[in-house]
Amino acid sequence: MTHRDPLHVLVESFFREYLQRARGASRHTVLSYSHALRLFFGFVADSTGKTAASLRIADVTAENVLAFLDHLGSCGRKASTRNLRLTALRSLCRHLLCQDPTHAGQYQRILSLPSKKVQAPVVTYLEPEEVRVLLRQPDRRKRAESRDHALLLFLYNTGARISEALAVRRNDLQLTRPFQVQLHGKGRKNRICPLWSETAKAMKRFLQDRPAAGDDHVFKSARGTALSRDGADYILQKYLRRAAEELPVLRRKHVTPHVMRHSCACALLQAGVDLSVIRDYLGHESIATTARYTKTNLDMKRRVLDAFWKHSGLTRVCNPTWRPSHDLLSFLGSL
């Protein structure tokens, strides 16, 4: 930049000093915020007839932010996407507020912009019986399908995000008692998750012929590289198609690897596990995130309804059985 306006310097310090060093934000967060700010500054440059390099602090205004958010809506972006972009801009403005207090009012106006209300989607999950049918599909005598069975069982056992499961390395696993795995979660937060003995056995089975290297990824593709998200989804869809032949109801469900995480959470709820324990098990930041599963779990709602019926003291009304009259004319005349 040829001018002395500090925008470029402050944006750079936002990423290098604030996000990465002070907050310790994950690579995913840095990339997400970088993408949001590229979109915003590109929009402002186009709408003002400037180049991105010539933008100044004076261009970071609530009016420009609102115009940018409206533009996202006109392009068909969902309210959740709009809110994500606004979150990135608010984070930048909080940094600017500390570094450049002379424009505090300008930044405060952006910070006061509200997020749009988003209707939470209904959580899709598999009932335990559906998961059992799914886990029966891989032929564990085949090497590739032995890996697939271990992956599906691991996802259901741990409730891990797919990114966490695919990032697991040999030295994260403990396949001797007590069986457990260290998961590397969002925001660089790690947690220890216990493993069922059946999960540990499945992991040992497909790993036994592979050379043991501590930093080696556990779940690999046929090429020997770390399994990708698309690869994991392909594996899941393959066995879902097989399971649907046995359980047709699965054809009506949109099942992704993340649905295995939802299924784990709902199964824990059905087993009577406390919400705070499930929060720690899944690595949620807030218990409010975990609580949404109580709104979705149909089995729990059925049990509540049954308990309500019994407590109400109502009795079922048995209507007398209707039988046809043998005297057709008498019956018609009685109507």
User: Do residues 3 and 54 make contact, with C-beta atoms less than 8 angstroms apart?
Assistant: yes
Query: Using CA atoms, how far apart are residues 113 and 5, in angstroms rounded to an integer?
Result: 25
Edge-to-edge strand ranges of the sheet holding 173-174: 173-174, 180-184, 190-194
Which residues are the active-site residues?
A: 161, 186, 258, 261, 284, 293
DSSP 186: G
* DSSP code for 20: I
Which residue bears the tokens 């556990």?
218
> What DSSP string describes 29-87?
HHHHHHHHHHHHHHHHHHHHT--GGG--GGG--HHHHHHHHHHHHHTT--HHHHHHHHH
What is the spatial distance between Cα 312 and Cα 293, in angstroms, rounded to a whole number? 26
- Dihedral sign, Cα of residue 58, residue 61, residue 64, residue 65: positive
